[in-house]
Every structure is written in structure tokens, then in C-alpha cells.
Structure 1
Amino acid sequence: METMRDRFAPVVTRLLDEDPRVAVVLAEIGTDAFTEAVRRHPDRVVNVGIREQLLVGAAAGMALTGLRPVVHTFASFLVERPFEQVKLDLGHQDAGAVLVSAAASFDWPAGGYTHMAPGDVALLDTLDGWTVHVPGHPDEAETLVRHAVAAGDDKVYVRLSLQANAHPLPVDGERLRTVREGRAGVVVAVGPLLDAVLAATEGLDVAVLYATTVRPFDAAALRRATEAAGTDVVLVEPYLAGTSVAAANDALSDVPHRVLGLGVGRRELRRYGRLEEHVAAHGLDARSLRERIGAFTGAGAPLRPRPPSTVPDRAMAH
């Protein structure tokens, strides 16, 4: 199956053809995918080398001249390493850009902890005015990248992942989508975790909402869902557990409610393992999710307990 990142470069190359404002800024990672774009638009595709602070700073400079820069590298190098530049060069100067990351929370376990970024969305939450898209399928990634580039001069983060759902859903860059109705609680599945959530909640009397845009958070849709399904809310996010709990609490601040935030744990897993093993170790596989969602909402009996998931003893990540 084509990955979100496979789709990204061809889409942005077409955007370079279509819109003279669009520019691309890279830091070595992903340059091979933009060979044709460099040939066709050498003045608007820039590789700054392994200099992530410059990556964001150069994009901010382009934005201040009227361009719409699309900035790409691994999430840990795009949000965490140059965070001061994201905060000041973009935020403080009110300069817009489209940051498109790869590797998500742990897409490349062999790269070690330096290439993992489960805290990226939570970190951007400390800043004002960011839109955050988390597609769950390559088709959705294409739609949301196009939406982000067309979003005037806004600050937008698009989080690409190797994890993906089997089928895309229509997305509009704004609203939560109701996928399943229920009466014993609401489960919000973010991006590539929708399939696991649907499998986990099969037969449980809970509503399932699908989120591919998590900032701004669609408070109105969550409120509507809780009116029918009750105010027990479970957030299932492919990044740091609890990242959107405050947003859900704010949405329901005037009614009694409970919120459970599921996602990537804070404990560092120091073995390579495989992507699927990291998913299971953080309790984001369908079986673990069913146990935790069922126990919290009371919508169904948990499955038989099993030993905690661990990442096998392979080569050390560092």
C-alpha cells in the first residue's frame, strides 16, 4: 500500500506547478522524492542541509516575502529540535507555514529515541494559533496537505505516519466525523488509530467519532455526541497519551463528565522492536483498547487479562 509520505511529494510537486506562492524547504531528509520538483522549480525548492533551525528560519523568511512554504523532515527534527524557531520565527513574527512531518511517534524504531516524537502535538499546544491535521490514510493526507497549503497564511502542522487505516473517509480539515453511534460513551479515534478503535469497540454500545483535525478541537461535535451517548469520553491518540484531554474537558466544562486519554506512554522503550510491537507495548492495539475502553465505559466486559506487552529484546536503540 502506498504510504502517506509516498503521496506527499507528488502532491506538493503538483502544487508547485499550480501556485507560484508555494515553496518547499528541506533538510536533506526526503530530497530524493523532490528531484523532479527541483528540476522544474529550482528557485522554490531549497535544501538547507542538516540544519533544522535554519530549516524553520528560512521558511519564516520566505513567508515574510509572501511565499507559502511547505517544510518537511522527521517530526523530531521539525517540531522538537527547532522549537525555538517555531516559537519565534513563525509564531512571534506571525509568519505562516505548512510543517509536514514524517516518522510520527515511532515509525522507525531502529532509528532510536532521537527519531521518535510522541510529544510533538503536545509541544505545539504550548503555542497559539496552530492548526494540526493527523490523517489516517494517504488519500486523507493528500486532501489535508492541499487544504493546509490553501489556508491563507496560517500556521499548519500535518502529521504523516506509516500507520494507516484500510480505507479513507471524507475529511474537511475542520470537523469530527461520526462513524458509529452508541449510548454508553463516546470514543474519539484520531487519524491512523480508527481501524483499531473500530475493531476494539465492535459490539460495544459506544459512539465512535473520527478526528483528522485535532486543533482547533471540534468541541461542538463532541458535545452533540455526548448528548446522545453520555459523557464518558475516551480519546485514542497516536501520540502522547492525554494530549487532548484538556480540549475535551473544555468542551464539556458545564456538564458532569469523565475523560480517559489513551495514547503513547511517557516511558521510553529502549529496544528496537517493530512498529507493531511498539503499538502493542503502548496499549494501542485492538485487544488492549477493548479492555481499557470497556472497563472505563462499562459498555462491555473486558477480554481475558493477558501479560503486559513488551518490546522484544533486540538490539538496543542507542
Structure 2
Amino acid sequence: METMRDRFAPVVSRLLDEDPRVAVVLAEIGKDAFREAMARHPDRVVNVGIREQLLIGAASGLALTGLRPVVHTFASFLVERPFEQVKLDLGHQDAGAVLVSAAASFDWPAGGFTHMAPGDVALLDTLDGWTVQVPGHPDEAETLLRHAVAAGDDKVYVRLSAQANRQGRVIDGEHFVAVREGRRGVVVAVGPVLDAVLAATEGLDVTVLYATTVRPFDTAGLRRATEAAGTDVVLVEPYLAGTSTAAVSDALCDVPHRVLGLGVGRRELRRYGTIEEHVAAHGLDARSLRDRIGRFVGAVGRVAVGA
């Protein structure tokens, strides 16, 4: 199956051809996928080598000249390692760019903890003015990439993952999508965890909202859902557990509510394993989610998740 990252380079290469403002900045990773685009646009496809701080600094400089830089590498090298440059070169200078990550929380287990970044969205949450997109399917990744590049001079983070749902959804780059409706709580599934959430909540009387844009948080969409389903809210995020619980509490600050944040735990898993084993270890597989969500909404034992 085609991955989100497989879709990334062809889409951005077409955008380079279509829009003279678009530029691409790389740090070795992903350079082969842009070889042809670099030959066509040598002045707008830049490889800075293994220098992630320079990666962000160069993108900022291009943005300040009026270009729209698309910056790509693994999430740990795109957000965590050059965070000071993200904060100052982009944020402090109010320079816009599209940061597109790969590897997500643990998509390359053999790379070890240096190539894992479950805290990337939480880290960006300490900064002002970032849009954060978390597609759950290659089709959605293409839609969100095009939205991000077209978003004027905004600062946008697009989080690509090797994990994906079986089918893409129609998304608009702003709002949550109601996938299932119920009356005993709301479950917000972010990006590639949707399939597991749907399996986990099969037969439970809950509303399932699908989120691919998590910043800005769709406050109005959540409030509409809670009017019918109640104010017990479960967040299932493919990154650090609890990253968006404050956003939920802010959205529901004027009404009594409960919120449960599920996601990647803080404990470092020191064995490589597989993606599926990491998913299970963090309790993000359908069986674990069924138990945790069911207990929270008071529905444990009613429905068993199939093998």
C-alpha cells in the first residue's frame, strides 16, 4: 500500500512546477525523491546536508525573501533537535513555512529512540500560531499538503506516518468529521488511530469524531457533539498521551466535563520490536482501547472486539 510519505514528494514536486513561490529544503533525508525536481528547479530545491538547525534557518531565510518553503526530515530532527530555530527563526521572526515530518512517534522502531518523536506536537504547542495537521491516509496527506502550501505565509506542521487507516475521508483542513453518533460520550480519534477507535467502539453508544487538524482545535465541532452525546470526552492521539486534553477543557470550560487522554506513554520502550508491538505496548490497539474507553463511559463488558 502507498504510504503518506510516498505521496509527499510527487505532490510537492508538482507544486514546485505550478507555483514559483514554492521551495523545498532538505537535510539529506528524502533527497533522492526530489532528484528530478532539483534538476528542474535547482534554485528552489536545497539540500543543506545533515545540519538540522541550518535546515530551519535556511527555510526562514527563504520565507523572508517571499518564498513558501516546504521543509522535510524525520520528526525528531525537524521539531526536537532544531527547536530553538523553530522558535526564533520562524516564530520570533514571524516567518512562515510548512514543516513536513516522517517517522512520527515510532514508525521506524529499528532506528531507536533517536528517531522517535512522540512529543513533537506537545512541543510545538508551547509556541504561538502553528497549524498542526495529522492525516490518517495518503489521500488526506495530499489534501492537507496542498492546503498547507496554499496557506499564505502561515506556520504549518504536517505530521506524516507509516501508519494509516484503510480509507481516506473527505476533510477540509479545519473541522472534525463526525464518523459515528451516540449518546454516552464523545471519542476524538486523531489521524491514523481512527480504524482502531472504530473497532474499539463498535456497539458502544458513543459519538466518534475524526480529527486531522488538531491546531487550531475545532472547539465548535466538539461542543456540538457534546450537546447530544454528553461531556465525557476521550482523546485518542497517535503521539504523547494528553497532548490535547487542555484544548478539550478550554472548549468545555463553562460546563461540567470529564476528559481521558490516550496516546503514547512517556516510558521509553527500549526494544526495537515492530510498529504493531509498539502500538500494543502503548495501549493503542483496538482491544486495549475498547477496555479503556468502555471503562470511562461505563460500558465495559457489553461488546467484545473481534480478533
Alpha-carbon distance in 2 for matches of 1:34, 1:208: 38
Residue in 2 that maps onto 1:167: 167
Q: How is 1:181-196 mapped onto 2 (pairs within 5 angstroms)?
A: 181-196=181-196
Alpha-carbon distance in 2 for matches of 1:212, 1:227: 22
Contact 2:203 2:303 in 1 (8 A): no
SS in 1 for 2:152: coil
Contact 1:287 1:303 in 2 (8 A): no
Q: How is 1:27-42 mapped onto 2 (pairs within 5 angstroms)?
A: 27-42=27-42
SS in 1 for 2:70: strand
Alpha-carbon distance in 2 for matches of 1:52, 1:171: 31
Contact 2:165 2:192 in 1 (8 A): yes
CA-CA distance at 1:303 after TM superposition: 7.3
- Does structure 1 residue 90 correspond to structure 2 residue 82? no
Residue in 2 that maps onto 1:140: 140
Contact 2:202 2:303 in 1 (8 A): no
Alpha-carbon distance in 2 for matches of 1:301, 1:78: 43
Contact 1:100 1:160 in 2 (8 A): yes
* Deviations 1:199-238, CA, capped at 9 Å, x for gaps: 0000000000000000000000000100000100000000
Alpha-carbon distance in 2 for matches of 1:217, 1:57: 28
CA-CA distance at 1:300 after TM superposition: 3.9
SS in 2 for 1:11: helix
- Does structure 1 residue 49 correspond to structure 2 residue 49? yes
AA aligned to 1:95 is A
Contact 1:292 1:302 in 2 (8 A): no
* Deviations 1:262-295, CA, capped at 9 Å, x for gaps: 0000000000000000000000000000000000
User: What stretches of structure 1 of length at least 5 have no aligned partner?
Assistant: 305-318
SS in 2 for 1:235: strand
* Deviations 1:50-88, CA, capped at 9 Å, x for gaps: 000000000000000000000000000000000000000
Normalised by the size of structure 2, how large is the TM-score?
A: 0.98
Contact 1:166 1:195 in 2 (8 A): yes
Q: How is 1:218-229 mapped onto 2 (pairs within 5 angstroms)?
A: 218-229=218-229
Contact 1:182 1:207 in 2 (8 A): yes
4+ residue segments displaced more than 3 Å: none
Considering only aligned residues, what root-mean-square deviation do their CA atoms show, in Å? Answer: 0.9
Normalised by the size of structure 1, how large is the TM-score?
A: 0.95
AA aligned to 2:56 is V
Q: How is 1:257-268 mapped onto 2 (pairs within 5 angstroms)?
A: 257-268=257-268
AA aligned to 2:61 is G
Residue in 2 that maps onto 1:115: 115
Residue in 2 that maps onto 1:81: 81
CA-CA distance at 1:299 after TM superposition: 3.0
Alpha-carbon distance in 2 for matches of 1:227, 1:300: 23
Percent sequence identity over aligned pairs: 87
How many residues are paired up?
Answer: 304
Alpha-carbon distance in 2 for matches of 1:47, 1:303: 52
Residue in 1 that maps onto 2:207: 207
Alpha-carbon distance in 2 for matches of 1:41, 1:276: 39
- Does structure 1 residue 299 correspond to structure 2 residue 299? yes
Q: How is 1:247-262 mapped onto 2 (pairs within 5 angstroms)?
A: 247-262=247-262
AA aligned to 1:50 is I
Alpha-carbon distance in 1 for matches of 2:30, 2:140: 20
* Deviations 1:132-170, CA, capped at 9 Å, x for gaps: 000000000000000000000000000000000000001
Alpha-carbon distance in 2 for matches of 1:152, 1:173: 14
Alpha-carbon distance in 2 for matches of 1:213, 1:299: 29
